[in-house]
Amino acid sequence: MTFRIAVLASGTGSNLDSLLEKSKSGLMGADVSFVLSDKPDAMCLQKAKDAGVPAVLALPSEDGESRADYDVRLIEAVDTESPDLIVLAGFMRILTPAFCDAFKGRIINIHPALLPKHKGAHGIRDTLAAGDDVAGCTTHFVTAELDGGPIILQASRPVFPDDTEETLATRVLEMEHRILPRTVDLIANRHVMVGPDGDVAVADSGSWVDKLPPIDDATFSPGY
Ligand code: GRF
């Protein structure tokens, strides 16, 4: 039976593109069955429609609506599609504990920094501001703690002295497009185990390193 993912996104949807593309090519053993955005004009919605994703929904928040009330509607919308996994791919809302509990262990996020460093909405900016030599991205399970859930995969690249937020974000995004679909693939194939303390183990199950064009200065965590 197909492993079905729901993608929640607010923006351009380049991570959604990479999920759709890797699914189509057979590299990622999962299908995108549902795409939801809180931004009705977001490009990700049009991309999902163009790609023929079976269910596509804009779910904007209403005037004065609390985060808790929005998440009640969000839980219902996601539940209706009964996905095996929920992927936050640039979904720019902080989720309530109610949402995290409703889909416990079945939500992952992609973050544009090497967690646990630089949590929050400005991972790239904070990496540059800290003067880090290395930047990167992280996939992790989502818990009620913002960007604090168990880490699954990471990928890193050097920071160059002349990097701007834009140039660095572009290079990190390229890595996001590698590790997000790989993370989905690992979970779909039951190669990711979470221990009682939230520690994640990724089983040795081959690698994607040789399956995609190389990125010379990139480093990947075990499992990729
Ligand atoms: C990515 O940088 C992701 O890490 C962040 O939001 C951005 C989404 O980009 N949380 P896109 O919409 O997938 O192009």
User: In the predicted model, what is the mean pLDDT of the chain?
Assistant: 97
Closest ligand 1 atom to residue 16 Cα is 13
pTM of the model: 0.97
Residue whose Cα lies nearest atom 3 of ligand 1: it is: 90
**pLDDT one-digit tens code per residue, 101-138:** 999 999 999 999 999 999 999 999 999 999 999 999 99
| 111 catalytic per annotation | yes
Distances (CA, A) of 16 to 35, 91, 211: 9, 11, 19
Closest ligand 1 atom to residue 44 Cα is 12
Considering the candidates 111, 118, 140, 177, report the single residue annotated as catalytic: 111
In degrees and rounded to multiples of 5, residue 69 shows phi and psi of: -70, -40
Pocket test for ligand 1, best of 176, 177, 180 (most atoms within 8 A of CB): 176
Torsion of CA 187, 189, 190, 193, to 10 degrees: -50
Would the pLDDT of 33 be above 90? yes
CA of 111 to the centre of ligand 1 (A): 8
